[in-house]
Chain A
Amino acid sequence: ILNVEQSPQSLHVQEGDSTNFTCSFPSSNFYALHWYRWETAKSPEALFVMTLNGDEKKKGRISATLNTKEGYSYLYIKGSQPEDSATYLCAFRRYSTLTFGKGTMLLVSP
């Protein structure tokens, strides 16, 4: 059983705050690490796919880093906005399958 852990489970910040979450995963047989953004009543949407140790990806105010040797990835949101409120999922890819963490639920208050 692959263990993908995310922390914190939930987070409540004020508009303008910067925040970050953690995803930890097995460091062996690594293929890729995915980050998804999941808004209530919608389907999860891919943010980043990361494959190389030391990878850094950025999309607007959201960025992510990857450490495959120690098995963790960080997702950063700079200057959070209410529209960033969602659940952020990471998923570990080994071979064909994606194993998801339980997500970090982010609420950004105006």
Chain B
Amino acid sequence: DAGVIQSPRHEVTEMGQEVTLRCKPISGHDYLFWYRQTMMRGLELLIYFNNNVPIDDSGMPEDRFSAKMPNASFSTLKIQPSEPRDSAVYFCASSLGGQGIRNTEAFFGQGTRLTVV
């Protein structure tokens, strides 16, 4: 398996533009997580899905952020409109759930470095 795949790796956009980040989880994983990495806050959980259903989006900073998972192999994180303070590295991770969840590690993608100017 190729692991968790994120695109794009880097994104530079102007303030006010819409940004869409993409993630393909590991096949067979039923949990998908979106994290944001900043110097100030470290790695923050934004939202996670179980079997394509959003379970907890309490970490989403505001209404400008939205995430979808239309099927088991694809998820998007959208920011509209983007602002300079959204600049960060956004990571997607996936894991197995169910009975083995205690022992299950999360596998991370390479991240998308977003810069909003």
Q: Which residues of A are interface residues toward B (Cβ below 8 A)?
A: 31-32, 34, 42-46, 49, 51, 89, 91, 93, 95-103
Contact = CB atoms under 8 A, between A and B. Distances in A.
Interface string B33-68: 101000001111100101000011000000000000
Contact of B42 (A42, A45, A51, A102): A102
Given A93-B102, A100-B44, 12 more contacts: A31-B101, A32-B102, A32-B103, A34-B105, A43-B109, A44-B43, A44-B91, A45-B108, A46-B107, A97-B45, A101-B42, A102-B41
Interface residues of B, number: 27
Nearest to B39: A102
A103 B105 contact: no
Contacts of A102: 41-43
B76 interface: no
Contact of A100 (B42, B48, B56, B104): B42
Given A44-B108, A89-B43, A96 B102 contact: no
A108 B101 CA distance: 34
Contacts of B88: none
Contacts of A49: 102-105
Contacts of B33: 97-98
B25 interface: no
